[in-house]
Homo-oligomer: A and B are copies of this chain.
Amino acid sequence: MINWTDRYAQRTARVTGSTLREILKLTLQADVISFSGGLPAPELFPVERFRQAADLVLSAQGAQALQYSPTEGYSPLRALVAGYLGRPEIDEGNVLITTGSQQATELIGRLLLDPGDQVLVESPTYLGALQAFGVYRPRFVIVPDDEDGLIVEGLEQALEAGPKFLYLLPNFQNPSGTTLPLERREKLVALSDERGLPIVEDDPYSQLRYEGDHIPPLIVLDAERNGAVGRSYAGGVLYHSTFSKLLAPGLRIGWVVAPAAVIQRLAALKQGVDLHTSTLAQMIAYEVARGGFLEEHAELLRTSYHRRRDVMLEAMEAHFPAEASWTRPAGGLFILVTLPAGVNAREVLVESLKQMVAFVPGEPFFPDGGGENTMRLNFSNAKPDRIEEGIKRLGAILKTFCRAAA
């Protein structure tokens, strides 16, 4: 008879399955209004295009789609996603296809982190990255920020200790919604270059901008800064993105863009974790995305999610208590709500689920603790009338909590 619990490795001690995952399971099962996970609107999935793409792939290239394939990824797909960055220094050799963006984060942690290494992060920041890096037991060091994101000058002190890298989401940060302005991006890239600070740039949402102008990713600015004709990108940014928000998360297809030598090391590690990403899923994704479809579909999503964001913000104005405050992000999928100190979002969630409304408490997004009085609301998954209804129910609950705390 084995007592399994006694056998688990030390790294697993703090891994218990996230709040996010447990709530996600609930929302998939029941008739709940979900403001929880970053789930795309299911009615907007381009299902018919997927059906045609699967048919084409399996009719014309079936044996290839079902066979083992190179760890780096399906070559036409690598070239396609390299092209999204629009820089001559960046091509297929700079791309590793991953089993979703979560695997990109995990592989970067696996490549770079020894126990005790310092990782610079914003607070709050994406829970999934804290989980993926956390297994390798680094020390998270919080960098100063404001409503425009990271304050570059504030990095000086943190740099003294020789951090392994800085992790950030420059566009519509999850969960805080901030977007790093161009000027700060340029300063940050210069600092990275001059001081040897590697940057891990997590960019799932850049195409989901509802107002203002697109700002180039850090890796593009870095490539411009150091680019030379005919030279492959060899800078300081490891960039990753995904098809999860623009096409379909059920594919599990993401990618890393990085110097070719780093891509080769990441591929060697990926071989040990899953050999390669599903050939079939990669070939279908390529057929769906190609020929400008991704860009066309992104336009449809922007229109729809823009409206949902506005519906949610208006409903919050109408129904939330005056003591609550919240972000107004220019893009992405989430609004972060701050409740009065003393109101615990986990307790709110218990009541909220009774009334069939789900959200994610903000606390696990804070690497240094705190945030018990915050909640993250997703506005992409539910339809506008459901958003109104859910916010109305949530507002009534919040008013009760705020009165009790006053």
Contact = CB atoms under 8 A, between A and B. Distances in A.
Nearest to A117: B9
Chain A interface category by residue count: 35 or more
A131 interface: yes
Interface stretch (A37-45, A151-159, A167-175, A348-356): A37-45
A63 to B, nearest CB: 4
A96 to B, nearest CB: 12
Contacts of A37: 68
Contact of A54 (B55, B69, B131, B135): B55
Contact of A113 (B9, B25, B71): B9
A395 B271 CA distance: 31
A50 B65 CA distance: 10
Interface string A124-148: 0000100110111000000000000
How would you classify the secondary structure of chain A's contact residues: helix, strand, loop or mixed? helix
B71 A269 contact: no
A55 B226 CA distance: 47
Interface in A40-96: 40, 42-43, 45, 47-48, 50-51, 54-55, 58-59, 62-71
Contacts of A15: 265, 268-269, 272
26 contacts: A1-B196, A2-B198, A3-B196, A9-B110, A11-B114, A12-B110, A12-B111, A12-B268, A15-B265, A15-B269, A17-B267, A47-B58, A54-B54, A54-B55, A64-B250, A67-B250, A99-B252, A99-B274, A99-B277, A102-B273, A110-B135, A131-B272, A252-B274, A252-B275, A252-B279, A274-B274
Given A102-B275, A128-B275, 6 more contacts: A2-B192, A4-B198, A15-B272, A54-B58, A66-B249, A250-B280
